[in-house]
Amino acid sequence: MKKIDKLIISSFIGPFVLTFLVVVFILLTQHMLKYFDDIIGKDLGWDVLGTLLFYFAIFMTPVALPLAVLLSSLIAFGNLGEHFELTAVKSLGISLVRSLLPIFVFVVGLTGAAFYANNNLVPKAALEAYSLLYDIKQKKPALDLREGAFYSSIPDISIKVNKKLPDGQSLKDIIIYDHRNRVGNREVTIADSGKMYTILNDQFLKLELFNGYNYNEGSPQGKDAVGRADGGQTLSKMKFDKTQIVFDLSSFGLNRTDKKWFQGNRIMRNLNELEKDMDSIGRNTMNQELNRFITTRDNMFNFHHKFDTLPLPDMLVKHKAILDSAAKKGAKPATSRLMPSKEGRAKILPKMESPVITNDSIKAIVMAKSDSLFGSPPTKVEISTALNHVRMIKSQIVNYSSQIETFESEYRVFQVQWHKILANSLACIAMFLIGAPLGAIIKRGGLGVPVLASIIFFIFYYIMSMMGDKWARQGVISVPVGIWMADIILFVIGLLFLRQARVDARLFEADFYRVVWDKLKAWLRDKKQLSKPVN
């Protein structure tokens, strides 16, 4: 590697690593703020939070890499231009394109790594992250007794504490309702004071109660005491100086859900899995298309016993042939038939010798009857029957059409994800073609102008990506056009910047636009003079 290549690579690697980490942190923070309320107050360990942040950080890399390439290339070539290092390189006869070559090779390798990450690492990280996030959402909040309010997060237990002391364990004026017997508020414990703490690695909550009473209201009993009517209830009251109650806190733990319930989501699938999903959805769509066509043909174009029908479209003919072939392969072999005896054959043969009515003769007979019936005016019953039949056909067609639209929409969603895996990877090259020439043009390093320019282009890229994604899902434009639109536009802009950078265009200086304006005015003046009529 030449010294000039080492100089340019070293000026790029440092800013790239730094900006990539900063961008991942910003995107991760912005993404996690959406789930802030679902995470806070769940008493999650640092290992759980670290795992969640790690997987979501990997999930952010498809967006972070292009932005990091754009910003770091702007900073690198802006610094080289600001310190006249790029000018010195050009004075040696080395073109700008040759100066871009080492970083371009690095970015191409980075694009390959981004594709591998998008296709293999990101789907797995998304599966781990969102399955863990779902389990965190289902987890109960941490044990939090508040003064003067009932706490009911422990199953079948309601606890009220009127005062909590600063030590976090001592309690005053405690009321506990026990509903574990499913008989209402029949078991109540009241204590003057107590202590609360967890035992066995926070698996159980232990309450030590002092100076209180335990009330237990029994079931209805017969008349067994003086002064009590039939059907009365027993009430027992027990005073205690000290008692202990232990509650199970297993429901507060983080219970993991089987990941297979999340694997069908498109963001958790790689290219091969997405292709299989799209193939399956396509077959379902063709099945519904075939059912709709057969329903329409057999019910709408077969009235009056007409035997001619509409032919299947070419795409349905091919699909039906595949279905028929699969059905034949899976069909059971025909069973052998028992031959009739001689006596039976003697009875059957004379009947078979009678003339057989051909299919054409059957058609003629049926059509003759149909024509004779059709000559008479329709009755109210026939009209009502026809209307009901049409309504039934319409309902079936609407049902099939709705299912087809659902499958087609789902197909577009998976197709969008398939193209995004490729488009997000190649966005690194597009961002480099913008950042490096633009940095050479503006000749400003640091975090001022490069950051501002990067934000502008990234916002443009993000808006175009979101618009294309939305239009592709809705079927307004084709999926490839919608997903690749942002990358193609950035490629064109990057090539324009590269062309301007090769000729040292001063795009960000007022003199450049003043010269352009003067040339435009001169061109308009010459055109106006040429358009005047000659005397």
Residue type, 55: Y
CB 159 within 8 A of CB 175: yes
d(CA 7, CA 308): 79
Q: How many residues in total does the chain contain?
A: 535
Please give the residue that has the higher pLDDT: either 522 or 527: 522
pLDDT (average), residues 75-90: 78
Per-residue pLDDT band at 335 (split at 50, 70, 90): very low
DSSP conformational letter for 376: S
CB 502 within 8 A of CB 97: yes
User: What pLDDT is attached to residue 426?
Assistant: 93
Residue 9 burial (CB count, 10 A): 16
User: What pLDDT is attached to residue 310?
Assistant: 59
Q: Which domains, and CATH codes, for the chain?
A: 3-139+424-465+481-500 (no CATH), 150-222+231-252 (2.30.30)
SS (H, E, C) 466-494: HHHHHHHHHCCCCHHHHHHHHHHHHHHHH
Name the range with the highest mean pLDDT among 191-195, 294-298, 381-385, 508-512: 191-195
Q: Is 248 helix (H, G, I), strand (E, B) or coil?
A: strand
Q: In 3D, which of 226, 221, 152, 161 has the Cα closest to residue 194?
A: 161
Burial class (CB in 10 A: 0-12, 13-18, 19+), 479: buried
Task: Name the E strands within 61-203.
Answer: 150-151, 157-164, 170-178, 187-199
Tokens coding 269: 């699938």
Residue 313 burial (CB count, 10 A): 12
Share of the chain above pLDDT 90, in %: 21
d(CA 71, CA 2): 25
Looking at 244-358, list the stretches that DSSP marks H as alpha helix, in order from N- to C-terminal side.
Answer: 271-300, 314-330, 342-352
Q: Say whether pLDDT at 438 is over 70.
A: yes
Inter-axis angle of helices 3-32 and 46-59, nearest 10: 120
d(CA 190, CA 208): 12
Per-residue pLDDT band at 105 (split at 50, 70, 90): very high
pLDDT (average), residues 467-472: 91
Q: Say whether pLDDT at 307 is over 90.
A: no
Tokens coding 487: 């990358």
d(CA 502, CA 97): 8
Structure confidence by residue, pLDDT tens digits, 420-432? 999 999 999 999 9
Min mean pLDDT across 109-113, 323-327, 332-336, 386-390 is at 332-336
Structure confidence by residue, pLDDT tens digits, 484-494? 999 999 999 98
Structure confidence by residue, pLDDT tens digits, 452-469? 888 888 889 989 999 999
Inter-axis angle of helices 314-330 and 271-300, nearest 10: 100
Structure confidence by residue, pLDDT tens digits, 122-148? 999 999 999 888 888 877 776 778 888
Name the range with the highest mean pLDDT among 227-236, 362-371, 437-446, 470-479: 470-479
Q: In 3D, which of 392, 413, 411 has the Cα closest to residue 403?
A: 411
User: What pLDDT is attached to residue 313?
Assistant: 66
Residue type, 157: I
How open is the CA angle 323-326-327, to the nearest 5 degrees? 85
Please give the residue that has the higher pLDDT: either 319 or 114: 114
Inter-axis angle of helices 479-502 and 96-116, nearest 10: 160
- Residues 6 or more apart whose CB falls under 8 angstroms from that of 417 comprise 266, 267, 269, 274
Query: Residues 259-279, buried b or exposed e (16+ Cβ, 10 A)?
Result: eeebeeebebbbbebbeebbe
Residue type, 453: A
Q: Say whether pLDDT at 388 is over 90.
A: no
Taking the alpha carbons of 189, 194, 199, 202 in that order, is the dihedral positive or negative?
Answer: positive
Please give the residue that has the higher pLDDT: either 368 or 331: 368
d(CA 528, CA 162): 91
What Cα–Cα distance (Å) separates residue 501 from each residue in 37, 63, 449?
49, 27, 17
DSSP conformational letter for 222: -
d(CA 13, CA 106): 10
Please give the residue that has the higher pLDDT: either 2 or 506: 2
